[in-house]
């Protein structure tokens, strides 16, 4: 803030000048003192001048609604909304979210620093203030092929950007706890720049947790139990309570939040799809869940605003007070939190009449190269009929490691049995044309007489395809290659439906409503035509089967991976 603006702000605060905007007749929530008071809020050039009694050029009558600070999502992958940053802003701002701390881990695994530059440019001048944590694990592990490698020298090239707050979630827990040199070099980049380090430590406890925190890790969003939440807080970590489309941990964690430790608790979505946002909301949904579960409303608001701002050193926001950004939300009450109006840096948000398709940048398009892939690449040869299988856990990205007896022909080739509830799963490398194909068997997914494939396959985002026959699986993969990425369903050699994702094979520029409507149609086809297990999200479930940092059994383009042992295992037991 320059001196001229500061001088004007002081003059309005002191009552010597009129404000640009005054919000009158509001019940203002004070997250500092934990109180609510009826007052005017004066705004000057996007900043709050004062809370009291003021006059202004423009007046908005709050009609005795509650005025709360703009909500902050403390950890989100914008790519998981399947839309570009501008479309994402138009999804979440109407729900009161005015700031997000985004980790572009997904797109950077495809396009490297080109992706980071794209996300920074595409998120400029939006009604949503977007900050980033530069991805720390690209690739996430050495057990898969990604489209890029971000080593310490790469991170150093961008770490000083004003909208990069630090190093993104350090998913390589094993390397961190072992103090591997390549990890220490990355941590040092953030430390030398005076920036933060996000964590990702599911199941880590005891001395391992001590070692992880000693590495300089500041946060964790992977808590699953109140005990884990409290263990992390006791070590000085901020805990991000997650409620996304795939992982819904908020209600499980709330019993661990107390008056004494709540200042270390924030809200995040991590991954949230357009349908979830349009139907249930964004961080406003966290508020509803928290209050309905018995959390004090002002404490919940503090977790959604001030705590997040303090955690990420965003000292210009997070509360309604003189000198802070005028990011504010009018809600009807402190239980439903139905949004009446949103102000981002003093400007009232107006939803666009029509979605504007921003042209796809060449730097992040056309990123699919499957090399010599063919239907023969999907042939599964076995030396035994007793095999390891990936067991789906409904509602979770965790899988179980199971076993099954399967049919093998005289050539030792796996034969699908429609009565076994098993389907073939393949991950096809799509970044470097290596021809790598990792094979596995998936149980509990359903799916008969067809295949589903997608270029969204966390974290390296190769093509993942599930099917009960090789022909449909191969067609799905080949068609996705021609599209440049997306999601596709095939049945008896016919494409039933598809969603092109031209931005790195992860996102579209057609807007959140388009994606939500398209997903509903495709979801119905997957359940009713392809007989996918109706308790699952057909596409999100599939996308997490290649994530080799979440227990217990996964598959990458390099083969079947035992996350607990952190090593590859054979298909045969």
Res 353 pLDDT > 80:
no
Q: Residues, the chain, total?
A: 573
Beta strands 437-443; 451-454: pairing state: unpaired
Please, what are the domains in the chain?
70-317 (3.20.20.140), 365-568 (no CATH)
Contact in structure between 554 and 563 (CB atoms under 8 Å): yes
pLDDT of amino acid 359: 86
Locate 299 and state its tokens.
Answer: 């404490």
* pLDDT tens figures, 202-235: 889 999 999 999 999 999 999 989 999 999 999 9
pLDDT band, very low/low/confident/very high, at 66 (cuts 50, 70, 90): very high
Name the token pair of 386: 């007793």
Per-residue pLDDT, averaged over 95-116, amounts to 97
Distance CA 23, CA 43 (A): 8
> pLDDT of 457-498, one tens digit each?
998 999 999 999 999 999 999 999 999 999 999 999 999 999
Longest CA pairwise span in the chain (Å): 92
Q: Are 238 and 265 in contact (CB under 8 A)?
A: yes
Helix axes 297-304, 283-292, angle to 10 degrees: 150
pLDDT average, residue stretch 19-38: 97
Assign 355 a pLDDT band (cuts: 50, 70, 90): low
Residue-level pLDDT at 354:
63
Tell me: pLDDT of 500 over 70: yes
pLDDT tens, residue by residue, 332-348: 999 999 999 999 999 99
pLDDT at 128 exceeding the cut of 70: yes
Asked if 492 contacts 450 with a C-beta cutoff of 8 angstroms, the reply is: yes
Residues 6+ apart with CB under 8 A from 354: none
Q: What percent of the chain has pLDDT over 70?
A: 99
Confidence (pLDDT) at 549: 81
């Amino acid at each position: 803030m320059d001196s001229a603006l500061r001088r004007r702000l002081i003059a309005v605060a002191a009552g010597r000048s009129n404000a640009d905007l005054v919000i009158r007749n509001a019940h203002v929530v004070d997250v500092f003192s934990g109180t609510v008071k009826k007052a005017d809020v004066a705004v000057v050039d996007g900043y709050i001048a004062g809370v009291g009694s003021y006059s202004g050029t423009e007046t908005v009558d709050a009609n005795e609604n509650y005025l709360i600070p703009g909500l902050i999502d403390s950890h989100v992958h914008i790519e998981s909304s399947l839309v570009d940053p501008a479309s994402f802003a138009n999804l979440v701002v109407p729900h009161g979210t005015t700031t997000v701390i985004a980790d572009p881990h997904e797109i950077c695994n495809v396009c490297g620093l080109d992706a980071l530059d794209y996300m920074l440019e595409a998120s400029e001048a939006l009604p949503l203030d977007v900050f980033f944590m530069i991805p720390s694990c690209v690739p996430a592990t050495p057990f898969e092929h990604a489209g890029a490698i971000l080593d310490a020298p790469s991170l150093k090239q961008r770490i000083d950007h004003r909208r990069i707050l630090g190093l993104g979630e350090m998913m390589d827990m094993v390397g961190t706890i072992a103090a591997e040199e390549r990890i220490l070099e990355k941590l040092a980049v953030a430390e030398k720049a005076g920036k933060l380090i996000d964590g990702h430590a599911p199941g880590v406890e005891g001395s391992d947790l001590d070692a992880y925190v000693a590495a300089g890790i500041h946060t964790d969003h992977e808590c699953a139990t109140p005990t884990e939440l409290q263990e992390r807080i006791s070590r000085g970590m901020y805990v991000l309570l997650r409620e996304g489309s795939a992982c819904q941990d908020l209600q499980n964690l709330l019993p661990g939040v107390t008056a004494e430790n709540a200042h270390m608790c924030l809200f995040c979505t991590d991954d949230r799809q357009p349908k979830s946002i349009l139907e249930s909301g964004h961080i406003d949904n966290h508020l509803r869940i928290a209050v309905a579960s018995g959390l004090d409303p002002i404490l919940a608001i503090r977790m959604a605003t001030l705590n997040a701002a303090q955690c990420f050193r965003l000292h210009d926001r997070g509360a309604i007070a003189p000198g802070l950004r005028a990011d504010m939300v009018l809600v009807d009450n402190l239980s439903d939190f139905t949004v009446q109006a949103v102000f981002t840096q003093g400007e009232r948000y107006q939803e666009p009449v029509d979605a504007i398709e921003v042209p796809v940048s060449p730097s992040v398009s056309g990123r699919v190269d499957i090399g010599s892939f063919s239907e023969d690449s999907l042939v599964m040869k076995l030396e035994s009929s007793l095999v390891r299988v990936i067991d789906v856990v409904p509602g979770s990205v965790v899988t179980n490691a199971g076993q099954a007896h399967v049919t093998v022909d005289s050539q030792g080739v796996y034969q699908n049995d429609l009565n076994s509830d098993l389907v073939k799963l393949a991950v096809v490398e799509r970044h470097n044309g290596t021809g790598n194909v990792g094979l596995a068997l998936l149980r509990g997914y359903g799916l008969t007489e067809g295949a589903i494939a997608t270029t969204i396959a966390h974290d390296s985002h190769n093509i993942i395809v599930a099917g009960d026959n090789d022909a449909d699986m191969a067609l799905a993969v080949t068609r996705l290659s021609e599209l440049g990425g997306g999601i596709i369903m095939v049945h008896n050699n016919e494409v039933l439906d598809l969603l092109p994702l031209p931005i790195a094979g992860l996102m579209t520029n057609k807007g959140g409503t388009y994606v939500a409507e398209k997903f509903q149609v495709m979801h119905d086809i997957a359940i009713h035509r392809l007989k996918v297990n109706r308790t699952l999200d057909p596409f999100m479930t599939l996308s997490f089967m290649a994530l080799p940092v979440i227990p217990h059994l996964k598959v990458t383009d390099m083969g079947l991976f035992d996350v607990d042992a952190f090593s590859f295992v054979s298909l045969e037991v």
